[in-house]
Amino acid sequence: MLGFATPARAATGEAVNPWVALAYLVSGVFFILALRGLSSPATSRTGNRFGMVGMLIAVVTTLVTHFPWITEQQAADLYAVRPDWASMYEILIAIGIGAVIGITIARRIAMTAMPELVAAFHSLVGLAAVLVGWAAYLNPGAFGLMVPMETIGTDYSLPMQIGAVSKVEMGLGIAIGAITFSGSVIAFLKLSGRMSGSPILLPARHIINLGTLAAIIVLTALFAMASPAETMPLIVALTVLAFLIGFLLIIPIGGADMPVVVSMLNSYSGWAAAAMGFTLGNTAMIITGALVGSSGAILSYIMCRAMNRSFISVIAGGFGADDSAGTGGEAKEQRPYKQGSAADAAFMLEQAEKVIIIPGYGMAVAQAQHALREMADILEEKGVEVKYAIHPVAGRMPGHMNVLLAEAQVPYENVFELEDINSEFAQADVAFIIGANDVVNPAAKTDKSSPIYGMPVFDVDKAKQVFFIKRSMGGVGYAGVDNDVFYMDQTMMLLSDAKKMVEEIVKALD
pTM value is 0.73
Helix axes 231-250, 205-225, angle to 10 degrees: 150
CB 478, CB 329: distance < 8 Å? no
Task: Delineate the domains of the chain, giving CATH numbers in brackets.
Answer: 111-323 (no CATH), 342-509 (3.40.50.1220)
**What's residue 53's pLDDT?**
94
CB atoms within 10 A of CB 319: 22
**What's residue 97's pLDDT?**
93
Q: How buried is residue 17: exposed, middle or buried, by Cβ count under 10 Å (0-12/13-18/19+)? A: middle
CB 53, CB 28: distance < 8 Å? no
Question: Both ends of the chain: CA-CA distance in Å?
Answer: 63
Give the mean pLDDT per block of 10 residues along the chain (510 residues). Answer: 39 54 88 85 84 90 66 53 60 88 86 80 90 88 68 48 84 92 89 74 80 92 87 93 90 73 85 85 84 86 72 60 43 74 92 94 87 94 94 75 85 88 93 90 81 83 93 68 87 92 92
CB 65, CB 17: distance < 8 Å? yes
**What's residue 330's pLDDT?**
46
DSSP reduced 3-state for 430? strand
Query: Where does residue 293 fall: left (phi above 0), alpha (psi -120 to 50 degrees), or beta otherwise?
Result: alpha
**What's residue 3's pLDDT?**
38
Residues taking part in catalysis:
438
DSSP string, 176-238: HHHHHHHHHHHHHHHHTTSS--S----TTHHHHHHHHHHHHHHHHHHHHHS-GGGHHHHHHHH
**What's residue 71's pLDDT?**
56
Contacts of 342-348 spanning 24+ positions with Cβ under 8 A: 342/494, 342/501, 342/504, 342/505, 342/507, 342/508, 343/508, 344/492, 345/467, 345/492, 345/494, 345/505, 345/508, 346/505, 346/508, 346/509, 347/508, 348/430, 348/465, 348/467
**What's residue 327's pLDDT?**
40
- Measured CA to CA, the distance from residue 17 to residue 371 in angstroms comes to 56
- H helices then E strands: how many in the chain? 19, 8
**What's residue 82's pLDDT?**
53
Q: How buried is residue 247: exposed, middle or buried, by Cβ count under 10 Å (0-12/13-18/19+)? A: middle
